[in-house]
Amino acid sequence: MLEWLEIFCRWVLGLQFLFWGLNGFFHWRPIPPSAQPINDFTEACIKTRFIMPTVKIFEIAFGALLLTGKATIVAWAALAPIVFIISGLHLLYNKKYWEVLLPITLPFLLILVLNFEKWQNLLLPESLFHKILG
């Protein structure tokens, strides 16, 4: 049962990131309106002509990895800052924050919980992570 829940969460996240990442380049659907501080932040990222394309490339690449089930932990880690920014902005400035938190943050957190043992191994002193940063 938990395996199916993880697959479902990966697909929900993967499809959203793949769609919105591609939408950032092809503009199929307008971005839903948000509170002014969120719009200001988004516009500032677009004006740099670096941050938003980079974010969209990450969303496409790592969303595809989530869909295929390959390197799920790597994809999860790479998308963590993007989910953090999206969630934080909507929690602080959007009155209907659940419209973003339910489809993005909740599946993201469920993947974290369901893969806790894999994450826990990264923090052990004998892990490759510690050997590299050692």
Q: Hey, how many other C-beta atoms are within 10 angstroms of the C-beta on 79?
A: 25
Q: What pLDDT does 90 receive?
A: 92
Among candidate residues 73, 78, 71, 99, the one with its CA nearest the CA of residue 17:
78
Successive 10-residue mean pLDDT values, the chain, 134 residues: 91 96 95 90 94 96 94 88 95 90 93 80 62 59
Q: Is-contact 93 34, C-beta < 8 A?
A: yes
Q: Under DSSP, is residue 80 helix (H, G, I), strand (E, B) or coil?
A: helix
Alpha-carbon distance 13 to 64, whole Å?
10
What sign for the dihedral angle of Cα 13, 103, 101, 21?
positive
Containing structural domain, residue 128: 2-133
Q: Hey, how many other C-beta atoms are within 10 angstroms of the C-beta on 35?
A: 16
Q: What pLDDT does 123 receive?
A: 63
Angle 51-68/36-47 helices, nearest 10 degrees?
100
pTM of the model: 0.84
Q: Is-contact 110 6, C-beta < 8 A?
A: yes
Question: What's the total number of domains in the chain?
Answer: 1
Q: What pLDDT does 133 receive?
A: 59
